Amino acid sequence: MQNLIPVELPLVYRLLNVGGTCLVSAAHEGQEDVMPAAWNTALDIDPGLLTVVVDKSHYTRRLMDESRLFGIALPTVSIAREVMALGSVSKNDDPAKLEKSGAEFFKFEGWDMPFVKGCAGYIVCRARDEQDIEKRYDLFVGEALAAWADPRIFDGRHWLYEKAPKDLSTLHYVAGGRFYGIGQTIDI
Binding-site ranges for a copy of itself (CB under 8 A): 13-14, 17-21, 38-44, 49, 51, 53, 77, 80-81, 84, 133, 137, 139, 141, 158-159, 161, 166, 169, 171-188
How far apart (Å, rounded) are the C-alpha atoms in residues 68 and 76? 26
- Shortest distance (Å) from residue 32 CB to a copy of itself: 23
CA–centroid distance for 76 within its chain? 11
SS3 of residue 37 by DSSP = strand
**Conformation bin of residue 79: beta by default, left when phi > 0, alpha when psi is -120 to 50:** alpha
* Short-list 113, 17, 26, 128, CA closest to 74: 17
- Alpha-helical (H) ranges within 34-175 are 59-67, 80-88, 97-100, 131-137
Q: Do 123 and 149 touch, CB atoms closer than 8 A?
A: no
CA gap 162, 183 in Å, rounded: 8
Helix (H) or strand (E) holding 33: strand 31-37
